[in-house]
Amino acid sequence: MKRWQRALQDNYGTPTIELVSGKGSVVKDSNGNTYLDFLAGIATNVLGHGHPAVVKAVTKQIATLGHVSNFYAHPNVLELAEKLQKMTGDKSARVFFCNSGAEANEAALKLSRKTGKYKIVATNESFHGRTMGALSLTGQPSKRNPFKPLLKGIKHVPFGDSLAMKRAITKKTAMVIVEPIMGEAGVIVPPSDYLKNLRKYCDDNGALLVFDCVQTGMGRTGDWFGYEYSGIKPDVITLAKGLGGGLPLGAMIALGSASTLFSAGDHGSTFGGNPVATAAGLAVIASIEKEKILKHVDEVGAFLLAELALIPGVTEVRGAGLLIGLTLEKPVAKAVTKKCQESGALINAPGESIIRLAPALNVSMRQAQKFVAIFSQALKGVTHV
């Protein structure tokens, strides 16, 4: 803690433990304590720690060809772009690679300006990143207010409210950006017809529909992107987190006419789509397919949703696949998070009464069962003090 405070800025506060190693869904700290990792780098380590396929791919690539910049092509960036294109089911899809979700959303924002319009509609409590453009899209006043003035022309409306969206979207709207399932707000699932309604409103007004799949993407919900349940396609998909399996890798995928908006020189990223990160991305997708992980996500996710709902003190459990949010009866989420850590499980409390779970997609059923027991005891211990 002292070393952290002497050398790092205080934007994260000071961590209470130092993690030194990990294997699968188990991590170890510098004191030798082990933990079930049910946050996975905030939904990033989709194959857990030290997955053999990722280790092999990254090791081989860094020994073969390092960074080359986007002045030149290389095999991995071509193959991964083609793979993502295929995953969208749309041959018109074109990919821009970057390093994070915030960067992917910044790219989407810039793309929307190429429509000749600048007004944007986003949602209250959304999270799209912390860079100035992405922060302008984010609907959380506590994160926005200290850094005003932000970008103008962005209107925030309640998430899941189709009527509010219909009223907000006009012929002057460049884009609408939403998360298929809100992540940081506490894993909020919209009404089943919400995304379909947004598609119609955007089509009626000539606005781009952007799905921020940074947290829902790469199999976390049991589907590749997390919007598939809606039966519609967006104009833009933003990805990151799980795409690199722990390495920094993001993507902004534009479909249809949106895919031709950027011209040479309009946008760029020094490290975007570099050989090492894209090697990891290819290994992640191949492993998810080979190990039939999407089916596993459905099975373990269904177990957790059912079992966690039975725990006294939990008033609601929601989500899809292995993106799960819990609402607690009392505002003790931070205390429960601390108690779980003391008992050997890492989770996240995005609100006073809200818990977020996002374990590796290959977490075992036995580990899920162990987690339920730890969480149940932790909540009981906090609420019965």
Known binding residues for pyridoxal 5'-phosphate are 101-102, 127, 270
What tokens appear for 38 in the block? 């049910």
Task: Kindly state the DSSP code that residue 90 receives in the 8-state scheme.
Answer: -
Query: Coil, helix or strand for 195?
Result: helix
Residue list for the binding site: 101-102, 127, 130, 269-270
Alpha carbon of residue 231 to chain centroid: 21
Determine the Cα–Cα distance for residues 170 and 163; give it in Å rounded to an integer: 13
**Sheet with 314-320: strands ordered across:** 314-320, 323-328, 354-357, 348-351
Mark the binding-site residues for N(2)-acetyl-L-ornithine, compressed into ranges: 130, 269
Distance from the Cα of residue 80 to its chain's centroid: 19
Selection from 323, 277, 281 nearest residue 300 by Cα: 323
For residue 52, is the peptide bond before it cis, meaning its omega torsion is within 30 degrees of 0?
A: no
Give the residue carrying structure tokens 């194959």: 47
Q: Which helix (H) or strand (E) holds 153?
A: none
158 half-sphere exposure, CB direction, 13 A CA radius: 7
